[in-house]
Amino acid sequence: MLKMIVKRSIMMLGMLLGLLVITFTISHIAPGDPVALAAGPDATQEMIDQLRQEYGFDRPLYQQFFAYVGNIIQGDLGRSIYTTREVAQDLFKYFPATLELVIYSILFAILVAIPLGVISAVNQNNWIDNAIRILSSSGVGLPMFWLALMLQLYFALELGWFPLGGRLGLMTDPPTFITGMYTIDALLTGRIDVFFEALHYMVLPALALSFPAIASIIRVNRAEMLETLGLDYITNAKAQGISRFRMIGLYALKNAMLPTLAIIGLRFGWMLGGTVLIESVFDWPGVGLYALQAVTASDFEPVMAVTLLLGAWFMLTNFLIDIIYGVLDPRVRKLA
């Protein structure tokens, strides 16, 4: 197990270095002059040159890269030209909102998708199975931003059940900052009304973000359940008169959960990248919206920092899934 952890850690460090090289190169060869944009239309060439020197953009590209890597090792992600704040400070402010949205989305996806996958497999090829398969196919095929807009138009504008966007109402004071996640901070500070209001604002963006994950988890869980239900030990359990509920819930689902766990981990990582679209539609103040504003302003430092954060999160999620796999299935440790 230790050998597996060390090997996966070395691989993750190599991938992070590759991600650094790619993001730095792409962001610095993209068209546009962020320094001129930050200086404003009335800035003189001397002012632009001074600002460029202040941010280090006057140095050769390779020197900028080595300086950037050295700063990251020290925890310095640079300074945003657009907000004029430290990027690490901005991420500390915006990341909890994104993390809260992703956590609620994946929990909702798990609670909905696993039971539907089991029901679909148990009722193979009848109308229940066909309906669930149509749902899973729709989740894979529907564009996330289109679904978000449709949810807004119907449930927010037409029915008025949910707000159009944001995390809290304009007249509501956020809870005291502890974790940055409003629902948790509201509970910790005893503001139950703010907790339910934050949940109310989260329903539509979480539903839109979770829909592709629901579809993927259903498909994988259904396929694994069908394979497991056809194995000899399930047939033996039937012959021994074990109840159908116990046979499906205790024996079949337990073995089918290993591949399902893998797709849950992957979707948990992918969701952070998907928040860029969801946050822009619902005006959710997280790292996705922050990255979109940085891209619009050609602000290199935040773009690279957000890309590095999302990439590191995805790699860490896969690393943890590999470790859990190794704990649950000894065969994985032997292959490592």
Q: Which domain covers residue 120, as residue numbers?
A: 91-335
Q: What is the pLDDT of residue 332?
A: 59
The answer to which of 38-47, 68-77, 139-148, 242-251 has the lowest mean pLDDT is 38-47
Question: Is 129 part of any domain?
Answer: yes
Amino acid at 51: L
pTM summary value: 0.79
Question: Is 207 part of any domain?
Answer: yes
Question: Is 204 part of any domain?
Answer: yes
Confidence of residue 286 (pLDDT cuts 50, 70, 90): confident
CA 283 – CA 124 distance, rounded (Å): 41
Question: Is 281 part of any domain?
Answer: yes
Task: Answer whether residue 68 shows pLDDT above 80.
Answer: no
Question: Is 48 part of any domain?
Answer: no
Structure tokens, 108:
């909702």
Q: What is the pLDDT of residue 196?
A: 92
Amino acid at 202: M
The CA angle 106-109-110, to the nearest 5 degrees, is 90
Share of residues in the chain with pLDDT > 90 (%)? 8
Can you give 247-310 as a three-state secondary structure string? HHHHHHHHHHHHHHHHHHHHHHHHHHHHHHHHHHHHCCCCHHHHHHHHHHCCCHHHHHHHHHHH
Total domains, the chain: 1
Question: Is 45 part of any domain?
Answer: no
Structure tokens, 118:
């089991």
- Say which CATH number the domain at 117 has: 1.10.3720.10
Question: Is 75 part of any domain?
Answer: no
Q: What is the pLDDT of residue 36?
A: 63
How much is the mean pLDDT over the chain? 80
Question: Is 76 part of any domain?
Answer: no
Q: Which residue has the tokens 């992703």?
A: 102
